[in-house]
Amino acid sequence: MSGHSKWATTKHKKAAIDAKRGKLFAKLIKNIEVAARTGGPDPEGNPTLFDAIQKAKKSSVPNDNIDRAVRRGGGLDGGAVNYETLMYEGYAPGGVAILIECLTDNKNRAASEVRVALTRNGGTLGEAGSVNYLFSRKGIIVVSKADGLTEDDVLVAVLDAGAEEVRDLGEGGFEVVCEPTDLVEVRTALQKAEIDYDSADTGFEPSTSVPVDADGAKKVMRVVDALEDSDEVQNVFTNVDVPDEVWAQLDT
């Protein structure tokens, strides 16, 4: 899974760059609004909202923006939002499967932006069910790589809470994978062990992967970047596998 880990590290680095541009802020605010709408505006009684706020704070979203999003989503200011979660499926060049998760108040606009981002960059939009069978929904927690913290330290803290795997992402920290139903318990176990974490979300893990060469990796990244550039798109998941030797070529 070393190729996967490098890909995950790249995603986390990109998220940090996006945050500096302010691009990520809007997506994080949307998550907070939807979490507050569906589970109520109290993060103590709404774990999804708690985690959405935590991720936003770790990405340096201002507290005033977070508070306004909670109030908007919870209907506390009379302006409750109405976003819909949509999932699109498709392929990047080379047969790499892509799941595209959107959060939108306009289904037609979201569909159009996803289709354009794919087709203009060599991808194709698939039918419902065309690739989702290649992925499983998982809980994914990204742990900061503090001084002295090891993979074993993280594993010991979360193993009894239901964690399935801990991955070392190098500079990107550690990634803890679990069933979605165990996400809160695993996150709580980290808190009890006083291990800092950056985000706790549900995502999609591929059951099979498609290896690519340097040219193929660039093409996949181009598609992912185009999709993530859309305000309608919240998350993009792929089953690409970039071998270490290919990453070395890309790094140089």
Q: What's the length of the chain?
A: 252
pLDDT tens digits for range 185-198: 999 999 999 999 98
pLDDT band at 170 (very low <50, low <70, confident <90, very high): confident
Instruction: Supply the CATH classification number for the domain 2-73.
Output: 1.10.10.200
Give alpha helix (H) positions in the chain: 2-21, 23-39, 47-58, 63-73, 107-119, 151-158, 183-192, 214-228, 244-251
Helix axes 2-21, 23-39, angle to 10 degrees: 100
Which amino acid would we find at residue 214?
A
CATH class of 84-134+208-251: alpha beta
Element (H, E) at 103: strand 96-104
Closest CA to 163 of 172, 171, 151, 173: 151
The 3-state DSSP class for residue 6 equals helix
Tokens 């979660």 sit on residue: 85
Residue 43 tokens, joined: 């993060």
Give CA separation, 192 vs 35, 55, 189, in Å. Answer: 24, 18, 5
Question: Is the per-residue pLDDT at 13 higher than 60?
Answer: no
Within this chain, domains 2-73 and 84-134+208-251 share the same CATH topology: no
pTM of the entire structure? Answer: 0.86
Tokens 């690409």 sit on residue: 240
- Residue spans per domain, the chain: 2-73, 84-134+208-251, 135-206
What fold characterizes domain 135-206?
Answer: Alpha-Beta Plaits (3.30.70)
| CB-CB contact of 137 with 204 (8 Å) | yes
pLDDT tens digits for range 94-131: 999 999 999 999 999 999 999 999 999 999 999 999 99
